């Protein structure tokens, strides 16, 4: 019963509860992670472009090799 009274008094004074503090902390961590992801976006796009180009070149090299060897 005393715990309920303390929690009620805390809410009346405007102090955040433990659950509100945990939610606020989780929100802050998520916002920081989102900001970090947005900062990394150009690097990721560039890496993806390089990998796509390498895959395209490997594809054509394999087709040429198969043609020269008499494969498909």
pLDDT tens string 15-70: 888 888 999 999 999 999 999 999 999 999 999 999 999 888 888 788 888 888 88
The whole-model pTM stands at 0.50
Q: What is the pLDDT of residue 45?
A: 94
Q: What is the pLDDT of residue 71?
A: 64
From CA 23, how far away is CA 19, in angstroms rounded? 6
Q: What is the pLDDT of residue 38?
A: 95
What the block records as the tokens of 48 is 């993806």
Is 11 in contact with 17 (CB distance < 8 Å)?
Answer: yes
| Number of CB atoms found within 10 A of residue 28's CB | 10
Rg (CA), the chain: 29
From CA 68, how far away is CA 72, in angstroms rounded? 10
């Amino acid at each position: 019963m005393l715990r309920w009274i303390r929690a009620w008094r805390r809410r009346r004074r405007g102090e955040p509860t433990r659950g509100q503090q945990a939610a606020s902390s989780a929100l802050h961590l998520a916002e920081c992670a989102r900001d970090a992801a947005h900062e990394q976006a150009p690097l990721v796009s560039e890496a993806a472009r390089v990998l796509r180009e390498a895959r395209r070149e490997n594809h054509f090299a394999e087709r040429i090799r198969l043609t020269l060897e008499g494969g498909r």
